[in-house]
Structure formats: C-alpha cells, structure tokens
Amino acid sequence: MPAPTRILAAEASLRPAVFYRRKGTAMRDQTSLIEAHIPGLRRFACALLRGDRQGADDLVQDCLERALSSWHLRRAEGDLRGWLYTILYNRFLSERHRRGRRGVPDASLEAAEAELPGVDGGQDWALEQRDLLRGFAGLPEEQRSVLLLVGVEDLSYGEAARVLGVPIGTVMSRLSRGRERLRHYMNGGVDGRNAEVRRVK
C-alpha cells in the first residue's frame, strides 16, 4: 500500500508531539472530531464508487480504522478533514489497483444503474438528476474526484490538490475538463469525450 505510507510518513516527520493518554475527555474529542466527517466521507466514497453504498461503507470503515491506528501520527493542529479524505482516497486507489491486478471487473458501473434514485411520478427534476448522475458516473475517475472534492465537499483547490497528491494546476485542468464533459453530456452529447474546452484568453 504505497500511497497511504507516503502521507503518514510525511505527517510523522512533522512533529511527534501527540498525546498518548486518550481517555475521558480526549477520547470523546477524538470520537466527535472524526464522526463529524463521517457523513461527508460516506458521500464522497459512494460517489467515487458510483453509487455502490455497501462498497462505500467498506471503504469508509477501512479509512476510519487506519485513521484511528495512526491517530498519533497526525498533527494535533493539522487539517483533520483533509487528512481523512486523503486516507480514504488512497485506500480507494490501492483497492482499485489490487482489483485491477487480479482482473476483477469494475462492478460499480452496474451498481450505479441499480442505485440511481427512482423516478417518482415522472418529475422532471428526478429524471434530470438521474441523468446527471449517469453522466457523472461516466466521467474518468480523476475528473470525478476533483468535481466531488471541490463542488460537493467544499474543499479549496489547494486542499483538493493535497488530498489527490497532484499540483493545483492539475486540479484546475481536471475540473475544467470534467465540467465541460458533463455539460456536453447533459446537452445531448453521447459523452463528453470530444468536447473541447475553450480556454478564455
């Protein structure tokens, strides 16, 4: 698991001063600090896995277990949210890599179809939402993760870059390409593969 090690090692080099005895107040703090981010982590995981909720909760559980066992390596004053999202994203990547090597097909595309919200009474917005999610599920993973972190989880561009381990410029170009591709899809394109982003100069 090369990716998480990179992050934890970076964290560890910063400052060893974390507090060892975690009982009473400190334990409750740790619990409530982390639990505040669980809804967001589940949402992010679920969207990364294109609607596979069971898989998403597995991923979140894995992330939380790792966060707890390396809690003492995190900087006391550091950005907890970014740290948790980073762990989750790295777990996602290594799991995908592992499956890829074992030749397990990506089941999450079918799961996406199954888990899309039902269409009640032919409401237009529900149809459109369904369509949007389908278009979104069709984006490459690197664009989906940027659109999620920035547009849904409200991370700044800098925070998103740290979570994904890429430069900000890469975040911006993935954001731009992802949004244009989704727009193209929603405007009736088959997918956005050929959509060109017109750079504004």
Q: By the criterion CB under 8 A, which residues form the site for other proteins?
A: 8, 12, 16-27, 29-31, 34-35, 38-40, 42-43, 46-47, 51, 53, 56-57, 60-61, 64-65, 68-70, 72-73, 76, 117, 128-129, 132-133, 136, 147-148, 150-152, 156-157, 172, 175-176, 179-180, 182-183, 186-187, 197, 199-201
DSSP letter (8 states) at residue 71: G
Q: How far is the CB of 51 from other proteins (least distance, A)?
A: 8
> How many beta carbons lie within 10 A of that of residue 117, not counting itself?
10
Q: How far is the CB of 85 from other proteins (least distance, A)?
A: 14
Handedness of CA 152, 157, 159, 164 (dihedral sign): positive
Q: How far is the CB of 103 from other proteins (least distance, A)?
A: 29
Q: How far is the CB of 101 from other proteins (least distance, A)?
A: 26
Q: How far is the CB of 126 from other proteins (least distance, A)?
A: 10
Output 13 or 101, the one with its CB closest to other proteins.
Answer: 13
Distance CA 196, CA 201 (A): 15
- For the chain, what is the total number of helices (H) and then of strands (E)? 10, 0
Distance CA 94, CA 2 (A): 8
Of the candidates 45, 82, 101, 97, the one whose C-alpha atom is nearest the C-alpha of residue 164 is 82
Output 3 or 172, the one with its CB closest to other proteins.
Answer: 172
Please name the residue that has the structure tokens 């430069």.
Answer: 167
Q: How far is the CB of 47 from other proteins (least distance, A)?
A: 5
Distance CA 188, CA 126 (A): 17
Distance CA 106, CA 184 (A): 25
Output 16 or 105, the one with its CB closest to other proteins.
Answer: 16
Output 93 or 177, the one with its CB closest to other proteins.
Answer: 177
Output 89 or 136, the one with its CB closest to other proteins.
Answer: 136
Distance CA 188, CA 135 (A): 10
Output 101 or 199, the one with its CB closest to other proteins.
Answer: 199
Please name the residue that has the structure tokens 């397990």.
Answer: 104
